Amino acid sequence: MKENAQFLLEKADSAIGAAESLLRDGYRDFSAGRAYYAMFYAAEALLAEKELVFKKHVGVHRAFSEHFIKTGLFEQKYYQWLVALFNSRLVGDYAIRTEFENEEVKEWINEAREFLDKVRDYLTNS
């Protein structure tokens, strides 16, 4: 695995840990953001293995879809999770008020963990 991909996986691990800590402390909005970034960094790790780098989140989303979803390497749900959580992160970061519930944020963290595990497994075994 390339060094950049490994670094991004470690960053994704840290983002999940931060999401869990933030949720425990009652910061649901910020927790959602860290869960999103865990998925984002994992997607970037996949693309880094192909030496693909993007400046915008949408570029990462599209390239992930093109190279890993449309090719059948990953299930569609991973792309759906990434985009849905991106939108939740935007709400959490920029909306004046949010109504995220603990259970939904816990689910997002679990999805981020599954996403990261899938990416790590793919990069380790391919």
For the chain, the domains span 3-125
Instruction: Tell me what the mean pLDDT of segment 1-9 comes to.
Output: 95
Is the pLDDT reported for residue 99 higher than 90?
Answer: no
Q: Which of 65, 50, 49, 61 shows the shortest CA–CA distance to 85?
A: 61
Q: 32-59, pLDDT tens digit by residue?
A: 999 999 999 999 999 999 999 999 999 9
- The pTM for the full model equals 0.95
Amino acid 52: pLDDT: 96
Amino acid 87: pLDDT: 95
**Reported CATH class of domain 3-125:** mainly alpha
Amino acid 95: pLDDT: 87
Amino acid 77: pLDDT: 98
Higher pLDDT residue, 73 or 93? 73
Q: Is the dihedral of CA 56, 61, 65, 69 positive or negative?
A: positive
Contacts of 103 (CB under 8 A, 6+ apart): none
Q: Which of 5-14, 80-89, 94-103 has the lowest mean pLDDT?
A: 94-103
